[in-house]
């Protein structure tokens, strides 16, 4: 499968050729030889099932093991994802695009994000193994949740430390996911980290002229 | 499997015996001979997979057909569900519990709910068949999305008509789901309809004394 970058800043996601693949105009989406699919979790499930040779631990065939992965993936949408994405939109992207700050919404998202990290620590990490549900190997749920937490870099290194450090199990889990996926994990997050630093500097200098607004839109 | 009612008004969901099954303290959850599971979509997938004799159309084994169902189930969390549940909480449950109305949040949820119904009409209903993805038989995605739309009854019959009537395909789809699931669909929604009427009457009469607050909490 070939990787195609969708440049949100240039409005690639609103172009007819992209909307033919994902009519929602959101990323990610795949075109698997004419089969179009969107929604990141649906894509992860499909890629784990449609191709031979994918190790079982990514998306276990055992119905009970799989059900636990499904539970985490579903929970993610309305908890960790909602908290993290909502906070980044309210605290970073929104202000960079010149939108008024909705402090109540931002505070709700921050509380949800913190509660979600606490739940991951309390419910899905244990001594049986370093990955979610105590598995010795990662699953697609580890991919989704770890990548979501990586996006918190947009809120600054200090915020991320404050969020993760009170939960040593979460810290070890993130390190285990990074190690299991080396060097790809570091590779795909390098650009994000650079953008996060840029946003932080911009925030510190109060820079919000039109050109930085366009750049902000293209980065997520 | 035996049905157990969890009385939210009596705080059943906060009791240790329920939290042993679902530590999130939310409904629904299942106890399948000692295997505990929560998140409604994970439960639907599990029940379709763990027991023999479940017709394939509920959760197709074909990877592409299944991927389309997964896409709709995932989309649901952050669109139809968020719009519908958010609007009901903001416009009905919140005020009944004496919380201040957040008009901005309510308006955002209403816009998301309306956009979601439009998307169902435009993307997932077609002339191939009456159910989602144009299937001739219903899937677990039909169950989840149709039940979500039924909850809109809480906002009044008029609001539901305004939401659904501009989209004849959605109206026919809801009728097809009800027919395919008769008499169970009507049975499980009868209590909801009665509560919706009660809420509407209460709203019209401006009744918000403490006893109705407790009743309100126990109904959802």
* ipTM value: 0.91
> Could you tell me the pLDDT band of residue A216, with boundaries at 50, 70 and 90?
very low
Structural domain includes residue A185: yes
Q: Are B149 and B171 part of one and the same domain?
A: yes
> Could you tell me the pLDDT band of residue A9, with boundaries at 50, 70 and 90?
confident
Q: Are B174 and B112 part of one and the same domain?
A: yes
Structural domain includes residue A3: no
Which of B67, B102, B123, B124 is best to mutate for the A interface (most A CBs within 10 A)?
B67
pLDDT(A119) > 90? yes
pLDDT at A203: 66
Structural domain includes residue A183: yes
pLDDT(B115) > 90? yes
Q: Are A26 and A81 part of one and the same domain?
A: no
Q: Are A39 and A147 part of one and the same domain?
A: no
Q: Are B18 and B102 part of one and the same domain?
A: no
Tens of pLDDT, residue by residue over B61-72, are 999 999 999 999
Q: Are B104 and B207 part of one and the same domain?
A: yes
Structural domain includes residue B55: no
- Which of B37, B46, B67 is the closest to A37 by Cβ? B67
Query: What integer is the mean pLDDT of A135-161?
Result: 94
Give me the phi and psi of B29, to 5 degrees please. -155, 155
Structural domain includes residue A1: no
Structural domain includes residue A141: yes
d(CA A62, CA A37): 25
Q: Are B93 and B120 part of one and the same domain?
A: yes
The CATH number assigned to the domain holding B76 equals 1.20.1050.10
pLDDT at B217: 34
The CATH number assigned to the domain holding B34 equals 3.40.30.10
Q: Are B40 and B110 part of one and the same domain?
A: no
Q: Distance from B140 to chain A by nearest Cα, in Å?
A: 14
Average pLDDT, chain A: 90
- Which of A63, A66, A74 is the closest to B39 by Cβ? A74
- Which of B37, B71, B82 is the closest to A42 by Cβ? B71
> Could you tell me the pLDDT band of residue B52, with boundaries at 50, 70 and 90?
very high
Q: Are B21 and B88 part of one and the same domain?
A: no
Q: Are B213 and B104 part of one and the same domain?
A: yes
> Number of structural domains, chain B?
2
Q: Are B109 and B144 part of one and the same domain?
A: yes
Percentage with pLDDT > 70 across chain B: 92
Average pLDDT, chain B: 90
CB of B75 within 8 Å of a chain A CB? The answer is: yes
CB of A123 within 8 Å of a chain B CB? The answer is: yes
d(CA A65, CA A150): 25
Q: Which residues of chain A make contact with B106, given a CB cutoff of 8 A? A: none
> Could you tell me the pLDDT band of residue B73, with boundaries at 50, 70 and 90?
very high
Query: What integer is the mean pLDDT of A53-59?
Result: 97
pLDDT(B79) > 90? yes
- Which of B45, B71, B105 is the closest to A39 by Cβ? B71
Which of B51, B70, B108 is best to mutate for the A interface (most A CBs within 10 A)?
B70
∠A83-B88-B115 over CA atoms, to 5°? 75
Q: Are A16 and A75 part of one and the same domain?
A: no
Structural domain includes residue B211: yes
Yes or no, beta carbons of B24 and A75 under 8 Å apart: yes
State which residues form the domain around A144. Answer: 57-219
Residue B182 tokens read as 């008769």
Percentage with pLDDT > 90 across chain A: 73
Structural domain includes residue B186: yes
């Amino acid at each position: 499968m070939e990787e195609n970058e969708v440049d949100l800043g240039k409005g690639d996601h609103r172009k007819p050729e992209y909307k033919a693949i994902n009519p929602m105009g959101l990323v990610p989406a795949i075109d698997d030889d004419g089969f179009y699919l969107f929604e990141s979790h649906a894509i992860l499930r499909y890629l784990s099932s449609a191709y031979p040779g994918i190790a079982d631990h990514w998306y276990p065939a055992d119905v009970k093991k799989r059900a636990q992965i499904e539970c985490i993936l579903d929970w993610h949408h309305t908890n960790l994802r909602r908290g993290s994405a909502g906070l980044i939109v309210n605290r970073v992207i929104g202000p960079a695009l010149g939108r008024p700050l909705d402090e109540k919404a931002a505070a709700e998202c921050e509380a949800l994000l913190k509660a979600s990290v606490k739940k991951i620590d309390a419910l899905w990490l244990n001594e049986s193994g370093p990955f979610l549900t105590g598995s010795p190997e990662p699953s697609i749920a580890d991919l989704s949740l770890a990548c979501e937490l990586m996006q918190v870099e947009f809120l600054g290194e200090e915020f991320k430390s404050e969020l993760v450090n009170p939960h040593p199990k979460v810290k070890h889990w993130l390190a285990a996911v990074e190690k299991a996926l080396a060097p790809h994990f570091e590779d795909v997050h390098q650009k994000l980290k650079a953008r996060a630093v840029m946003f932080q500097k911009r925030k510190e200098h109060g820079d919000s002229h039109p050109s930085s607004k366009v750049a902000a839109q293209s980065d997520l």
